[in-house]
Amino acid sequence: MDIRRILVTGRLYDELAALLPDKRPDKEYRFVAEEELKADDFVWADAYIGFQPAGPFSLANLRWVHSLGAGVDAFLWGREWNRNVLLTRTIGTFGEQIAEYCLSYLLRDAQCHDVYAWYQEQRQWKPIAPKRLGEQRIVIYGTGEIGRRIAETLRLFGVSPIGISQSGKASAPFSAVYRPEEAEEALAVADWVIAALPLTAETHHLFDETFFSRLHNAGFINVGRGATVDETALVGALENRNIRLAVLDVFEEEPLPPHSPLWEHPNVLITPHIAALTSTEDAVRSILDTLRCIEAGTPLNNVVDVSRQY
């Protein structure tokens, strides 16, 4: 595939403008803010690099689209994809970042940080025995790259994580892997459920009222995609104590609207989609590695299966 003209946008476009032309001076570039994209840019370009489709996005003349994020639902969800256009994604330190994010909240809860902060305000000396992380029963939805890294990290603390995937295929970091329809028993005794799923037709609102009804005072972390969760059902689960604490980094609508009841719920912790951020270094490395493979005709390890939507 011959790629000559590359259109780059998204929050890293300035940083990439300072690095890409020096590393691949044989290419033509346009570095454009999302809000400044014009139809002519898409007529001109062979390739598009960004976090999402922006401006008058069109696949008509493109040969390659590269997502600067790990996820590609922004490009595929609700959109008809041209199978002649190659879609790739960035591979970086996302697994490590998300594993650390999850671990931080699991330890925060196990070590009773909030309780001790309240006791300190009240000037009360009340020892509480911390919960050992290795004694927690943790279920991870998603056994791909990110889910595996979370499981590997938790194993270092004595956790025997259970994985849930569409196939139910065994995977080394997990003590067991089940299909969603086989998960009821594991969910009934789960201390935590971690959602690390891509958004597909199968996972859209997977975490609904029926799902939450199977939990009993569990913690819930979503580091996958916001639209995998029915937020109305989640609020209901918090009210009836199926969920005792929800840690949410992703939402169906982002930014989370000011009127969302999640903002003010006392048992919800919100972060603004920061569990894993693409660094400039990861972006440059992934773009250049992918471009080299495209030009050489060698196999890509980051190509997206459009039919599976990830």
Instruction: Give me the active site residues, please.
Output: 225, 254, 273
- Best CA proximity match to 33, nearest among 19, 54, 18, 48: 54
How far is the C-alpha of 3 from the C-alpha of 27, rounded, in Å?
8
Going by C-beta distance under 8 Å and a sequence separation of 6 or more, which residues neighbour residue 243? 212, 215, 217, 218, 219, 220, 234, 237, 267
How far is the C-alpha of 270 from the C-alpha of 144, rounded, in Å?
24
- Residue 300 phi, psi dihedral angles, 5° rounding: -100, 135
What is the gyration radius of the CA atoms in the chain, in angstroms? 21
Distance set, CA 195 to CA 127, 186, 233, 244, 302 (Å) = 32, 14, 15, 16, 22
How far is the C-alpha of 54 from the C-alpha of 48, rounded, in Å?
10
Q: Report helix, strand or coil for 192.
A: strand
